[in-house]
Amino acid sequence: MGGFAKEVATVENEADLQELFALLEPERKWFVLGGGSNVIFPDGDVDTLIVKLAPSGIALDSDNGDEVIVGAGGGTVWDDVVAYCVEHNFCGIEALSAIPGSAGATPVQNVGAYGTEIKDVLISLEAFDVFERTIVTFSNSECGFGYRDSLFKREGRGRYIITKITLRLHRGDARVPNYPGVAEYFAANNISSPTLADIRNAITTIRWTKLPDPRLIASVGSFFKNVFVSVEQAEKLKKEFPGLKSFPVNDGTVKIPAGALLDLAGFKGKRFGNLSFYKNNALVIVNEGGATRSELVDLIKNVTLRVHDLFGVELESEPEMIS
């Protein structure tokens, strides 16, 4: 969806970043693009300069037996990092298998799946500070992580280019994600003591039944963030909609999956022009071919209004719209 970028700069290291930003006129708009799996381009030509990091690999930074420290370059494919760790029996990110995109993008929206978020394992990251023209280090607590959120999506947007992430992982027993689909997968495959590789296989298999393969069908994965409401509001909603799924959260709020709201609202599998809500997962909007961004923007507006009218909650989009 959307037009083509007129200019793309691929950078390999800090020297390239220094050179690029020294050359760039101050008013020139730029945008750092990873795998492009969570962004939506505008229709027509894109004047914004697209900055891409070349893949720079994965390294074992330290190993003390039980605990290992793994570093990955910002442009490295995230699932290659997961594959490397599972292969070497390093536990901690197997639940984040098969999330498309680059390692450098994972802290931006604090990627998460099956009970794990990148913030659970990230020790620190390095980023090129475009304002100061130097590499800076952020500790985990300095990243301002939240649900699908971080400093890099807020005040740090347009300032930092994440060039390296450093993760703390461990050897030993892997934690099996406590999700019905995972248990069903192991039962169906007669696996009673899942290994790390079994967990990765389970997550990857389950994900591709619920999500369209981005190499074949265009989507940005989950389009809307889950909704968090007060206990009172959740009870009221459940009375009105008895089938509605909800999950209490430690902070005293209740999580309502956005997909469940869209499902109840009847969007699953429905087609609107060139766009549709994926047949296996209402949370995923699919470009059936030829969809424009303005078509998408109209659809989001209508869906958000409908969900608000029905449930009294506000849906928030997850992907970023490039201007």
Ligand X SMILES: Cc1cc2nc3c(=O)[nH]c(=O)nc-3n(C[C@H](O)[C@H](O)[C@H](O)COP(=O)(O)OP(=O)(O)OC[C@H]3O[C@@H](n4cnc5c(N)ncnc54)[C@H](O)[C@@H]3O)c2cc1C
* Helix pair angle (180-188, 196-210), 10° resolution: 110
Phi/psi of residue 301, each to 5°?
-60, -45
114 or 311: CB nearest ligand X:
114
Residue 146 as a binder of ligand X (CB under 6 A): the answer is no
Residue 314 falls in the annotated catalytic set = no
Question: Which residues 258-297 are close enough to bind ligand X by CB under 6 A?
Answer: none
CB atoms within 10 A of CB 64: 8
CA distances from 267 to 40, 273, 309, 311 (A): 21, 14, 14, 14
83 or 237: CB nearest ligand X:
83
What sign does the CA torsion over 146, 152, 156, 158 have? negative
- Catalytic one among 94, 124, 148, 219? 148
* Token pair of 219 as six digits: 């989507």
The answer to whether 46 and 2 have CB atoms below 8 angstroms apart is yes
| Shortest distance, position 320 Cβ to ligand X, whole Å | 4
Burial 231-245 (b: 16+ CB within 10 A, else e): eebbeebeeebeebe
The answer to whether 46 and 4 have CB atoms below 8 angstroms apart is yes
Among the listed residues 138, 145, 98, the one whose alpha carbon sits nearest the alpha carbon of residue 119: 145
5 or 113: CB nearest ligand X:
113
The contact pattern for ligand X, residues 25-64, with x = CB under 6 A and - = no contact, is ------xxxxxxxxx-------------x-----------
| Shortest distance, position 75 Cβ to ligand X, whole Å | 7
Residue 151 as a binder of ligand X (CB under 6 A): the answer is no
| Shortest distance, position 222 Cβ to ligand X, whole Å | 6
CA–CA separation, 78 and 37 (whole Å): 12
- Catalytic one among 97, 102, 150, 222? 222
Question: Which residues 186-245 are close enough to bind ligand X by CB under 6 A?
Answer: 211, 214, 219-221
- Residue 33 is given by DSSP the state E
11 or 234: CB nearest ligand X:
11
Residue 117 falls in the annotated catalytic set = no
| Shortest distance, position 299 Cβ to ligand X, whole Å | 17
Residue 222 falls in the annotated catalytic set = yes
* Token pair of 190 as six digits: 């007669």
Please count the residues of this chain forming the interface with ligand X, following the rule CB under 6 A: 33
The contact pattern for ligand X, residues 60-99, with x = CB under 6 A and - = no contact, is --------------x------------------------x
- Return residues touching ligand X (CB under 6 A): 31-39, 53, 74, 99-102, 104-106, 108-109, 111-113, 152, 160-162, 211, 214, 219-221, 320
Catalytic residues: 148, 222, 318
